[in-house]
């Protein structure tokens, strides 16, 4: 699949934003965050800015963005529609949560519920995003059980690391958040390695013979090879679904993803936890920057390594 | 509504495409383009049509494949030789169409009355998700109009009372010079498409996907082995030939003799 930059930015930014928002909601509801208005403004502002920027970027990907409101109507069947509906509903409790924190400075009675509701809707939105890909059987490398867990845990991990970066200047050494950063990122790493193993070992179920209805010719399925192409220039299908990445490049980029998304941030979180003062602040900020570039790369590969079954008509022999 | 119809369609309109007789002339693709660039779903955009990098929307594409069957006894390749199969590819109007259910706006829908899958271009936001969902590559994006295009089964022909009755079928079917394309109702067991499917063992594409496509493809008939001349000879060589028992039975003259004797 052709990596769509607006979609890569969308999922990376909203992932980090929703992860951060979910953690803010849960941690404040359970009394694990400082009441500090400046911190709250900064953290909530960053989370909501990441989410809003991501959602706006997704509109850039549309052919007719002025009709985007129509995408809210088909939540019964479409994960894309569900994502849009959940994203918009999510602003409701988030605004109430922010009002209770930043304006009223309250965290008792019903106010924590707004934080918990924000967290639930945030994770649900990331789940809906992941299911857009997971539900496409025409792209077997997306139709994988680990796709949704990787999206959700990576959202929590990037959100935790950004939250940590914002928190360190206010509270030096928040052990719970450091532990969450480390645990979620380590879990995301394990799941991502599992995903890569799964797609590397999965054998496609469709062949050019089954795609052309010629499977039944002969005692075993015949070999079917493209001879006359239907067109001499790339069409929409080849431009959108025909992107292929050389295996050696994919391996190089996977190694870089291991480094930027997982190894470097994990090491930096440990350094941040072990130090104090400017070194700690710098380590936390660098971890956030590294994990963000790493996840952009991870998303780029998610597209670049995905093969679409339509390529069976254009030279792929098994997808 | 992008939920699929919950009740079975009374009619199930679709195409039968005969891979035995298709000669790969692209007449179906061209006539499809010609009709649909002027019909209800016009235009089928062409970008840079006379330039170096031509691009444009087509709802029907004709691929040519080289097909090599395995040996009947050994199951090995390399003994049967190859054959060319032309393969026209267009929307199959699936019963479980994933392009319909992924649509967030309701633009993509399947008609209850005849099972035709259509795009309402006034509702389409151009998110392209339907084209990602289709394993058959039936949908092409119109970058000019910002909306998705697909085969309509020429819905503006098949129900068009301004056309002669004989013309009320898809443009591709009308255009086919080798009668490799047939249009009809698969729910009617007496229709030509149902009977051709039954008689010739019509198959669906990528049955492993379980999308229940409506269109059926008729596989090529078994071909004569290279060099055995079986497709040219009805009677034993020599018998009844114009040249009599002493006539030529080999080489070019023998071939003419056999053809004339059929």
- The CATH code of the domain that includes A277 is 1.20.1630.10
pLDDT tens, position by position, B172-198? 999 999 999 999 999 999 999 999 999
Q: Where are the alpha helices (DSSP H) in A258-277?
A: 264-274
B229–A contact, CB cutoff 8 A: no
pLDDT tens, position by position, A44-98? 999 999 999 999 998 888 999 999 999 999 999 999 999 999 999 999 999 999 9
pLDDT tens, position by position, B104-147? 999 999 999 999 999 999 999 999 999 999 999 999 999 999 99
pLDDT tens, position by position, A22-35? 999 999 999 999 99
Q: Which domain holds residue A215?
A: 5-314
Please report residues of B whose CB lies closer than 8 A to that of A318: none
CA distances from B65 to A84, A218, A249, B19, B109 (A): 42, 16, 30, 11, 32
Q: Quick check: is A207 in a domain?
A: yes
pLDDT over threshold 80, residue B241: no
pLDDT tens, position by position, A210-255? 999 999 998 899 999 999 999 999 999 999 999 988 888 999 999 9
Q: Quick check: is A209 in a domain?
A: yes
DSSP string, A97-164: HHIIIIIS---STTHHHHHHHHHHHHHHHHHHHHHHHHT-TTSTTTS-TTHHHHHHHHHHHHHHHHHH
Chain A neighbours among B 91-120 (CB < 8 Å)? Answer: 98, 100-107
Residue B53 CB coordination number (10 Å): 8
User: Which candidate from B84, B148, B203 shows the least CB-CB separation from A213?
Assistant: B203
Chain A neighbours among B 166-205 (CB < 8 Å)? Answer: 201, 203-205
pLDDT tens, position by position, B151-176? 999 999 999 999 999 999 999 999 99
Number of domains in chain A: 1
Asked if A224 lies within 8 A of B65 by C-beta distance, the reply is yes
User: What was the pLDDT predicted at B240?
Assistant: 45
Minimal CA separation from A296 to chain B, in Å? 21
pLDDT over threshold 60, residue B247: no
For residues B99 and B187, give the distance between their C-alpha atoms in angstroms, rounded to a whole number: 22
Please report residues of A whose CB lies closer than 8 A to that of B133: 136-138
The set of long-range contacts for B49-57, using a CB threshold of 8 Å and a minimum separation of 24, is B53/A233, B54/A233, B55/A233, B55/A234, B55/A235, B55/A236, B56/A235, B57/A236, B57/B140, B57/B141, B57/B142, B57/B149
For helices A37-60 and A5-29, angle between their N-to-C axes, nearest 10 degrees: 150
ipTM field:
0.95
Q: Quick check: is A238 in a domain?
A: yes
Residue of chain B minimizing CA distance to A58: B127
Q: Quick check: is A319 in a domain?
A: no
pLDDT over threshold 50, residue B87: yes
Answer whether the bond into residue A109 is a cis peptide, omega within 30°: no
**Which residue segments constitute the domains of chain B, with CATH numbers given?**
13-218 (3.30.70.20), 224-262 (no CATH)
pLDDT over threshold 70, residue A103: yes
pLDDT tens, position by position, A106-164? 999 899 999 999 999 999 999 999 999 999 999 999 999 999 999 999 999 999 999 99
Q: Quick check: is A120 in a domain?
A: yes
Q: Which of B231, B16, B85 is nearest to A223 (CA)?
A: B85
Residue of chain B minimizing CA distance to A138: B135
Q: Where are the alpha helices (DSSP H) in chain A?
A: 5-29, 37-60, 79-98, 111-134, 147-167, 175-201, 208-211, 236-241, 247-257, 264-274, 278-304
User: What was the pLDDT predicted at A67?
Assistant: 96
Please report residues of B whose CB lies closer than 8 A to that of A234: 55
Q: Quick check: is A297 in a domain?
A: yes
User: What was the pLDDT predicted at B81?
Assistant: 84
For helices A5-29 and A147-167, angle between their N-to-C axes, nearest 10 degrees: 60
User: What was the pLDDT predicted at B1?
Assistant: 58
Confidence at B253, pLDDT banded by 50, 70, 90: confident
């Amino acid at each position: 699949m052709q990596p769509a930059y607006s979609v890569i930015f969308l999922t990376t930014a909203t992932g980090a934003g929703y992860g951060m928002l979910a953690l803010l909601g849960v941690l404040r509801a359970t009394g694990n965050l400082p009441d500090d208005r400046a911190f709250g403004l900064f953290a909530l502002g960053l989370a909501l800015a990441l989410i809003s920027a991501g959602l706006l970027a997704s509109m850039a990907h549309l052919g007719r963005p002025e009709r985007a409101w129509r995408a809210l109507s088909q939540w019964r069947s479409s994960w894309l529609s569900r994502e849009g509906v959940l994203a918009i509903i999510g602003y409701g409790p988030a605004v109430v949560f922010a009002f209770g924190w930043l304006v009223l400075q309250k965290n008792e009675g019903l106010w924590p519920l707004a934080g918990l509701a924000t967290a639930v809707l945030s994770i649900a939105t990331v789940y809906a995003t992941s299911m857009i890909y997971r539900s496409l059987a025409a792209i077997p490398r997306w139709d994988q059980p680990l796709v949704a867990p990787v999206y959700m845990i990576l959202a929590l991990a990037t959100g935790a690391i950004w939250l940590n970066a914002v928190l360190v200047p206010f509270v030096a050494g928040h052990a719970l958040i450091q532990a969450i950063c480390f645990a979620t990122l380590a879990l995301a790493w394990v799941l991502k390695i599992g995903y890569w193993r799964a797609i590397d070992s999965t054998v496609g179920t469709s062949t050019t013979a089954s795609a052309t209805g010629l499977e039944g010719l002969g005692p075993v399925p015949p070999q079917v090879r493209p001879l006359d192409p239907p067109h001499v220039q790339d069409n929409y299908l080849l431009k959108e679904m025909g992107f292929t990445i050389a295996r050696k490049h994919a391996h190089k980029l996977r190694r870089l993803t291991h480094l930027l998304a997982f190894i470097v941030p994990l090491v930096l979180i440990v350094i941040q936890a072990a130090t104090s003062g400017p070194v700690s602040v710098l380590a936390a900020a660098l971890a956030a920057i590294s994990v963000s570039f790493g996840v952009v790369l991870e998303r780029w590969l998610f597209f670049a390594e995905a093969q679409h079954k339509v390529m069976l008509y254009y030279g792929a022999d098994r997808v | 509504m992008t939920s699929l119809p919950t009740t079975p369609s009374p009619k199930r309109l679709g195409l039968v495409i005969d891979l035995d007789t298709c000669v790969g002339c692209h007449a179906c693709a061209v006539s499809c383009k010609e009709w649909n660039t002027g019909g209800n779903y016009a235009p089928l955009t062409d970008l840079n049509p006379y330039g170096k990098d031509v691009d444009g929307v087509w709802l029907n594409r004709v691929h040519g494949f080289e097909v090599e069957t395995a040996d009947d006894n050994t199951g090995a390749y390399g003994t049967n030789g190859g054959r060319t199969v032309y393969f026209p590819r267009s929307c199959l109007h699936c019963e479980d169409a994933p392009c319909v259910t992924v649509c967030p706006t309701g633009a993509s829908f399947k008609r209850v009355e005849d099972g035709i899958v259509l795009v309402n271009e006034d509702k389409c936001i151009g998110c392209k998700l339907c084209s990602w969902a289709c394993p058959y590559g039936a949908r092409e994006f119109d970058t000019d109009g910002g909306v998705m295009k697909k085969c309509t089964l020429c819905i503006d022909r098949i129900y068009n009372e301004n056309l002669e009755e004989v013309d009320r079928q898809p443009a591709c079917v009308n255009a086919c010079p080798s009668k490799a394309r047939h249009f009809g109702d698969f729910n009617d067991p007496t229709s030509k498409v149902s009977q051709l499917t039954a008689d010739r063992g019509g198959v669906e594409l990528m049955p492993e996907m379980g999308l229940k496509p409506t269109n059926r493809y008729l596989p090529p008939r078994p071909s004569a082995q290279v060099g055995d001349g079986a497709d040219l000879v009805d009677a034993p060589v020599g018998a009844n030939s114009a040249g009599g028992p002493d006539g030529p039975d080999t080489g070019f003259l023998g071939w003419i003799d056999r053809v004339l004797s059929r």
